[in-house]
């Protein structure tokens, strides 16, 4: 069925800290593009930073945010292979498709890397139109609400873990157990037989981490040296993943790391990034890596893990809400009301 006319969409205007649901023209696909009727779109912490905090910006305004989406193909442009009625998940990131990184399947290395909802229209709307290469078929039996959050909440920590190359017996410490970090816990549990340690200042986030398979959950409220605490609770850490973006956590964690340990930084905090432990980094031969988004392999591999029963996301969806509840959902996520993992909007 071809969608014509107008559709509801949650729009962000420049200088506003609230989304406005309004009627806008339904986008139509051109060559190589697919129109998708959006069935689910996750509300992410970066949406909070974009709308409520203003610490992230769109490339242009007004803009439709929303970058964790899944839906049903409704119209196909010339030169495409998908067909109407197919269930798909949309990639969160955009890329040029022609550079060496893109051709190698490493889109998150693209010099023109962007994000749906920031650099081009997102999916807090009834329909979205995207190039076919950003779509991944979803097998029957996988709920679209759960497929949607694979686009970022699950694929980003998955890529970060792969970047850290965990060994089968590694001890893994995960700082920040919100929507990204809690899925890092679940995925780390699949990658190591060693201890998985969750660290956060929010009791609800730590409770979630334990439910997702963490061996220990360390409450950092009032803790002056997270590294010292981590050292006391483990025999040393092989891999640290930081989703908190808090500089003091990153620096302190180095003191708890084994020789040859790896640290992968994912979280973007409001502080400047600096290290005051150069000799310790050299002496222990510690690698510090950055990880941003995921590549073209992540979503298909995660869909396979889900289909095989190895990845359970049933408790990840805190609530499914209508488009009109988007501002409430942003505020609830920002204030962590109801101990959310992911609110999902169904436009």
What is the mean predicted confidence (pLDDT) over 262-283?
78
Q: Where are the domains of the chain?
A: 6-137+316-346, 156-290
For position 303, what pLDDT does the model report? 97
Give the three-class secondary structure for 158. Answer: helix
SS3 labels along 312-337: CCCCCEEEEEEHHHHHHHHHHHHHCC
pLDDT for the residue 110: 94
* Element (DSSP H or E) covering residue 11: strand 6-11
How far, in Å, CA of 184 to CA of 191, rounded?
10
Q: pTM to 2 decimals?
A: 0.94
Confidence label for 139 from pLDDT (cuts 50, 70 and 90)? very high
CATH class name, domain 156-290: alpha beta
Predicted confidence band of residue 268 (pLDDT cuts 50, 70, 90): confident
Between 338 and 7, the more confident residue is 7
Tokens of 277: 């432990």
Exposure string for 56-90, b = 16+ CB within 10 A, e = fewer: eebeeebbbbbbbbbbbbbbbbeebeeeeebbbbb
Name the percent of the chain lying above pLDDT 90. 86
Q: Could you report the per-residue pLDDT of 186-212, keeping only the tens digit for each?
A: 999 999 999 999 999 999 999 999 999
In terms of residues, how long is the chain?
A: 347
- Asked if residue 275 has pLDDT above 80, the reply is no
Of 3.50.50.60, 3.90.180.10, 3.10.20.30, 3.40.47.10, which CATH number belongs to 6-137+316-346?
3.90.180.10
Per-residue pLDDT, 254: 87
What is the number of H-type helices and E-type strands within the chain?
11, 17
Kindly tell me the burial class for residue 210, based on how many C-beta atoms sit within 10 Å of its own C-beta (0-12, 13-18, 19 or more). Answer: middle
Q: What is the pLDDT of residue 183?
A: 98
Q: Which pLDDT score, from 0 to 100, does residue 270 have?
A: 62
Q: What own/partner pairs with CB < 8 Å and gap ≥ 24 does 307-313 have?
A: 307/139, 307/141, 307/142, 310/190, 311/154, 311/186, 311/187, 311/190, 312/186, 313/146, 313/149, 313/154
């Amino acid at each position: 069925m071809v969608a014509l006319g107008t559709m509801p969409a949650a729009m962000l205007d420049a200088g506003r800290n609230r989304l406005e649901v309004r009627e806008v023209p339904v986008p139509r696909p051109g060559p190589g593009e697919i129109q998708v009727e959006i069935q689910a779109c996750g509300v992410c912490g970066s949406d909070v930073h974009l709308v409520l905090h203003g610490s992230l910006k769109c490339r242009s305004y007004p803009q439709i945010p929303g970058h964790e989406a899944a839906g049903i193909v409704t119209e196909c442009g010339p030169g495409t292979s998908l067909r109407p009625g197919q269930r798909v998940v949309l990639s969160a990131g955009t890329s040029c498709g022609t550079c060496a990184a893109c051709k190698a399947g490493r889109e998150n290395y693209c010099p023109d890397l962007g994000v749906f909802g920031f650099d081009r229209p997102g999916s807090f709307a009834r329909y979205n139109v995207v190039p076919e290469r950003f779509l991944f078929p979803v097998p029957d039996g996988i709920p679209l609400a759960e497929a949607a959050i694979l686009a970022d909440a699950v694929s980003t920590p998955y890529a970060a873990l792969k970047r850290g190359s965990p060994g089968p017996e590694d001890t893994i410490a995960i700082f920040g157990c919100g929507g990204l970090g809690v899925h890092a816990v679940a995925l780390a549990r699949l990658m190591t037989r060693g201890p998985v340690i969750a660290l956060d200042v929010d009791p609800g986030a730590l409770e979630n981490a334990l439910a997702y398979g963490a061996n220990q959950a360390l409450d950092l409220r009032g803790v002056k040296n997270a590294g010292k605490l981590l050292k006391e609770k483990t025999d040393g850490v092989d891999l640290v993943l930081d989703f908190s973006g808090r500089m003091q956590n990153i620096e302190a964690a180095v003191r708890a790391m084994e020789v040859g340990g790896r640290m992968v930084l994912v979280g973007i905090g409001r502080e400047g990034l600096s290290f005051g432990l150069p000799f310790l980094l050299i002496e222990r031969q510690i690698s510090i890596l950055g990880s941003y988004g995921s590549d073209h392999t992540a979503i298909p591999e995660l869909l396979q893990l889900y289909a095989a029963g190895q990845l359970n996301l049933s408790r990840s969806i805190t609530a499914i809400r209508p488009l009109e509840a988007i501002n409430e959902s942003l505020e609830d996520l920002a204030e962590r009301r109801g101990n959310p993992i992911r609110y999902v909007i169904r436009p």
